[in-house]
């Protein structure tokens, strides 16, 4: 069994293709559920963000795993295998582990060093655990990846080396406004209350005092005086609202399909900032709010356009000042045709990808130093994970060896008991048995410890193989064949055994 990574990202695919292969909600659960029902795939989880869709899996073999994953990805997204093959990348074993660690650190992000990806990998792992598609292998890998990501941000200056996705998006999107925000602009220290969408913390228990810094006064900032409309109230939208508030926005209007979440986000903003007037509008009335804003930030997770070109054209008729849309969603929330209208600028993931590529060419020495440190952490953690995995893989051979030794001892004791004097008391017989078992355990102790240590070396598999062949050990277990149920309509597997059940 080995780790396999199959994916597409902003580095390998155009946004139009990333939109089509994005796996969200029920589609993701169905696709991953069918992957683990395959004989080639034992466990699977999906990391899906605004600029990547990646499937990580524990597979029986390289070719079977790639075939099973790409076929099901094609089936559920409608993208042909031929088109997928032109843009998909595949990593196997150590390369797959290294890729996930690098992704979790933000090294492979559009905005290198951004921290949102750490939470997105955590969400992917949690989703796999809840649906049963993540077992021991991917759970260990995912937990290790989160540890690597935390190390990267706490042991280096990675957080100072790169902006987050929202701040970078704002720096690109608002160049046509009267003011231009900068990711490096100092901001007031604001700690929203626990339970606020901006805090990333659970609500406080009744009566529990939560330290917080409220009523931050920002007399000026890079977005001073602007009106902002935020579509959505998820984590990315909450980050967006907090960022524009810190940078001096005059008003922040939040529209979300679930009004309670929008109201909670607006409440948090009003509590945290004296200079911001935060309010809500029904999601269906969001188009009417365009008349009063200068900037629209959207990240809803919807499967279709939230604002169409015709709706925007009607709502902005007669407008004289610029209007900027920052579309951080994948699939996109804003109809691309909106960008053809006079006085309106639309910045989406593809625009940010191009801007990020230009920034990479201007990488400064401080940023390069931080990135090198993070790459060193990744390499170190890959080596450690490999050692742990190889030690785990040799465990069945060690168990088989000890089991074989026990069988030999018990057989010899049974033979010996027939030859011992009949008047020998039970206590003496038990002591003879304990002595023989201790001899066997002591003889095996050093070899089994040593083979676990050697398994972590680059050619560690050869030691485990030699031990298995020398003692003619059988480490295979018998498993009943699985026949997944199929639906009459689609012919696809109807239900999948969980990764835990397969283990």
Is 131 in contact with 37 (CB distance < 8 Å)?
no
Do residues 350 and 15 touch, judged by C-beta distance below 8 A? yes
CA distance 264 to 295: 21
Could you count the other beta carbons within 10 Å of the beta carbon of residue 481? 5
Q: How far is CA 181 from CA 26, 176, 441, in A?
A: 37, 11, 69
Instruction: At 237, give phi and psi (nearest 5°).
Output: -65, -40
Write the burial class of residue 278 (CB in 10 Å: 0-12 exposed, 13-18 middle, 19+ buried). buried
- Check if the beta carbon of residue 228 is closer than 8 Å to that of residue 297: yes
- Rounded CA separation 331/353 (Å): 15
Name the burial class of residue 6, with classes exposed (0-12), middle (13-18) and buried (19+) by CB atoms within 10 angstroms of its CB.
buried
Of residues 437, 305, 288, 330, the one with CA closest to residue 8? 330
Within a 10 A sphere around the Cβ of 279, how many other Cβ atoms?
16
Cβ burial of 456 (10 Å; 0-12, 13-18, 19+) is middle
Considering only CA atoms, give the Rg of the chain.
29
* Nearest-angstrom CA–CA distance, 269 and 248: 12
Q: Choose, from 50, 105, 196, 299, the residue flagged as catalytic.
A: 50
Closest CA to 406 of 438, 452, 359: 438
Q: Residue 50 catalytic?
A: yes
Helix axes 460-470, 426-455, angle to 10 degrees: 150
Of residues 116, 117, 28, 121, the one with CA closest to residue 73: 28
**Catalytic site positions:** 50
């Amino acid at each position: 069994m080995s780790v396999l990574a199959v994916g597409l990202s902003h580095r390998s695919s155009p946004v139009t293709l990333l939109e089509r292969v994005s796996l969200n909600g029920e589609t993701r659960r169905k696709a991953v559920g069918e992957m683990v029902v395959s004989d080639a795939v034992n466990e699977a989880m999906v990391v899906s963000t605004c600029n990547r869709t990646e499937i990580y899996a524990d597979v029986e073999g390289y070719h079977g795993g790639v075939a099973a994953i790409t076929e099901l990805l094609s089936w559920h997204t409608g993208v042909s295998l031929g088109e997928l093959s032109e843009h998909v990348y595949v990593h196997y074993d150590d390369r797959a582990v290294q890729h996930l660690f690098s992704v979790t650190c933000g090294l492979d992000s559009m905005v290198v060093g951004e921290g949102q990806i750490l939470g997105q990998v955590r969400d992917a792992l949690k989703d796999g655990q809840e649906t049963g598609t993540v077992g021991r292998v991917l759970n260990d890998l995912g937990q290790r990846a989160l540890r690597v990501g935390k190390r990267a941000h706490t042991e280096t200056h990675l957080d100072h080396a790169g902006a987050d996705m929202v701040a970078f998006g704002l720096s690109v999107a608002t160049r046509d406004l009267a003011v231009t925000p900068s990711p490096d602009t100092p901001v007031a220290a604001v700690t929203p209350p626990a339970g606020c969408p901006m805090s990333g913390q659970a609500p406080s228990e009744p009566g529990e005092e939560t330290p917080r810094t409220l009523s931050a006064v920002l007399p000026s900032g890079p977005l001073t005086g602007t009106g902002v409309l935020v579509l959505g109230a998820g984590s990315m939208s909450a980050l967006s609202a907090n960022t524009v508030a810190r940078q001096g926005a005059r008003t922040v209007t939040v529209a979300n399909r679930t009004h309670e979440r929008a109201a909670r986000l607006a409440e948090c903003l009003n509590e945290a900032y004296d200079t911001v007037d935060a309010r809500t509008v029904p999601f269906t009335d969001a188009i009417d709010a365009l008349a009063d804003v200068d900037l629209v930030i959207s990240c809803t997770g919807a499967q279709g356009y939230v604002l169409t070109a015709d709706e925007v054209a009607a709502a902005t008729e007669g407008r004289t000042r610029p209007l900027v849309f920052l579309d951080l969603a994948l699939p996109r929330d804003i109809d691309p045709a909106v960008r053809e209208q006079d006085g309106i600028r639309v910045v989406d993931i593809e625009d940010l990808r191009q801007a990020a590529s230009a920034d990479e060419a201007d990488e400064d020495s401080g940023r390069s130093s931080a990135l090198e440190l993070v790459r060193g952490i990744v390499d170190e953690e890959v080596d450690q994970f490999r050692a742990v995995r190889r030690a785990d893989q040799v465990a069945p051979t060690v168990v088989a060896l000890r089991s074989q030794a026990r069988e030999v001892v018990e057989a010899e004791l049974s033979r010996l008991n027939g030859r011992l004097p009949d008047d020998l008391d039970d206590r003496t017989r038990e002591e003879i048995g304990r002595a023989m078992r201790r001899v066997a355990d002591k003889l095996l102790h050093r070899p089994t410890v040593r083979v676990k240590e050697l398994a972590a070396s680059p050619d560690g598999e050869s030691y485990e193989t030699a031990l298995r062949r020398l003692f003619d050990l059988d480490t295979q277990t018998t498993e009943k064949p699985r026949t997944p149920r199929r639906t009459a309509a689609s012919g696809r597997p109807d239900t999948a055994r969980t990764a835990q059940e397969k283990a």
